[in-house]
């Protein structure tokens, strides 16, 4: 019998840690692909049913006109991307979309608004949306930009379950992507959300021109937070004409799977979400991601201002893979 390499036979620990070192994360990315997937999937099975996937739906409740300069985002007012500024959607339209999402199997309804930092009068429009969606029996999540502590309290009191605020990339590479807010700005908002008792949804984007080391530092930053995000969305860059990253080099699918797997190893109890970019993924790539530990997806036809696989395609893929929707609300 062939002797197993040391990195293969080492204990597959899945204890929650918040002290990951850069060298440890780099070593995970450098594992042979099969060994990394074995490790990630073993940890995944220890914490989740590997054949269940949490379904969320994302609705863009306020598009365009954002003063930020995120290099990947077509909603920036600084870019010519044919995304026009629009006001917050009316309550009736949002509730109808939430009902449709629930009927299609979603358990969480996420609402995104293109603000840098909402004003208090902006929250006056958002709070009834949260309350209305919550009344339909769905979990609620919003992404609104940077928040003050009193604003976070208002969202909590309205019944908000999750707040999404992504770090996007590593602290070192961040300045290449955005200049209108700092990494600490994002971390401070996350801390306010956590302190208020709202669950955290926080991840990043692969394909911004970053290196493997940047992907590792993004994931290490998330894993070394005082509490792991309950939901960790891993986005594959959607290259949009008119943005600075429209011609960014595509990420090799194997490298994307490695990122999913390392996220699972570092944050064993978090839901790892296959987020933006799934329209461009083959069924085979998505299957590998599910095996590597992804267990949450955005479900529906639209993802903010970019396309998303339609529900029929999702159902067919789930049937082929023997997956089912996770109807439990207790996870992330």
The DSSP secondary structure of 280-307, one letter per residue, reads: G--HHHHHHHHHHTEEEEE-SSEETTEE
The model's pLDDT over 84-111, given as tens digits with 9 standing for 90+, comes to 677 889 999 999 999 988 888 889 999 9
Low-confidence ranges of the chain (pLDDT < 50): 1-11, 302-308, 329-332
Q: Return the pLDDT at 13.
A: 55
Q: What phi, psi does 257 have (nearest 5°)?
A: -60, -40
Phi, psi of 203 (to 5 degrees): -155, -140
Handedness of CA 221, 223, 228, 233 (dihedral sign): positive
Structure tokens at 129: 């949306």
Burial 141-163 (b: 16+ CB within 10 A, else e): bbbbbbbeeebbbbbbebebbbb
Active site (annotated) includes residue 289: no
- Which residues are CB-contacts of 45 (< 8 A; sequence separation ≥ 6)? none
Rg (C-alpha) for the chain, rounded Å, is 19
Tell me the two tokens of residue 55: 């379904």
> Could you tell me the CA-to-CA distances from 103 to 56, 57, 96, 98, 131 in Å, in that order?
12, 11, 11, 9, 19
- Among residues 21, 26, 45, 66, which one is catalytic? 66
**70 part of the active site:** yes
Q: Residues 17, 26, 73, 202: which is the catalytic one?
A: 73
Find, among 332, 218, 220, 232, the residue nearest to 289 by Cα: 232
pLDDT of residue 332: 40
What does the pLDDT look like over 287-303, one tens digit per residue? Answer: 999 999 999 998 765 44
**To which H or E segment does residue 59 belong?**
strand 52-62
Angstrom distances, CA of residue 43 to CA of 80, 162, 223, 238, 262:
44, 24, 15, 29, 11
110 carries an active-site annotation: yes
Residue 215: active-site member: no
Q: Look at residue 314 in the predicted model and tell me its pLDDT.
A: 79
The pLDDT value given to residue 10: 42
Assign 3-state DSSP to the chain and report helix, strand, coil percentages, each to 5: 40, 15, 45
Out of 154, 156, 201, 239, the active site residue is 201
Q: Reply yes or no on whether 141 is catalytic.
A: yes
C-alpha 38: how far from its chain's center? 23
Distance between CA atoms of 253 and 259, rounded to whole angstroms? Answer: 10
pLDDT of residue 300: 61
Q: What is the pLDDT of residue 286?
A: 94
- The active-site residue, picked from 192, 194, 258, 273, is 273
Query: Which residue among the candidates 108, 110, 154, 278 is catalytic per the annotation?
Result: 110
């Amino acid at each position: 019998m062939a002797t197993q390499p040391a990195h293969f036979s080492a204990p597959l620990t899945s204890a929650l840690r918040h002290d990951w070192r850069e060298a440890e994360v780099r070593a995970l990315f450098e594992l042979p692909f099969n060994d990394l997937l074995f490790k990630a999937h073993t940890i995944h099975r220890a914490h989740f049913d590997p054949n269940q996937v949490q379904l969320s739906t994302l609705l863009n409740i306020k598009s365009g006109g954002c003063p930020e300069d995120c290099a990947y985002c077509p909603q920036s007012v600084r870019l010519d991307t044919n995304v026009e500024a629009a006001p917050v959607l009316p309550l009736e339209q949002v509730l109808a979309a939430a009902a449709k999402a629930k009927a299609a199997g979603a358990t969480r309804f996420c609402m995104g608004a293109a603000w840098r930092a909402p004003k208090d009068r902006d929250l006056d429009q958002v709070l009834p949306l949260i309350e209305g969606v919550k009344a339909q029996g769905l979990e609620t999540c919003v992404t609104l930009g940077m928040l003050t502590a009193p604003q976070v309290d208002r969202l909590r009191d309205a019944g908000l379950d999750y707040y999404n605020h992504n770090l996007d990339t590593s602290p070192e590479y961040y300045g290449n992507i955005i200049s209108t807010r700092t990494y600490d700005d994002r971390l401070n908002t996350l801390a306010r959300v956590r302190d208020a008792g709202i669950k955290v949804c926080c991840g990043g984007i692969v394909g911004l021109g970053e290196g493997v080391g940047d992907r590792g530092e993004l994931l290490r930053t998330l894993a070394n937070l005082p509490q792991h995000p309950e939901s960790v969305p891993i986005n594959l860059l959607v290259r949009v004409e008119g943005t600075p990253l429209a011609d960014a080099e595509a990420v090799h699918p194997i490298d994307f799977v490695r990122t999913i797997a390392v996220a699972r190893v570092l944050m064993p109890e978090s839901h790892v979400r296959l987020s933006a970019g799934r329209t461009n993924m083959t069924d085979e790539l998505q299957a590998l991601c599910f095996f590597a530990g992804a267990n949450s997806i955005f479900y529906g036809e639209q993802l903010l201002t970019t396309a998303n696989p339609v529900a029929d395609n999702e159902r067919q893929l789930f049937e082929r893979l023997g997956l089912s929707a996770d109807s439990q609300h207790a996870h992330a």
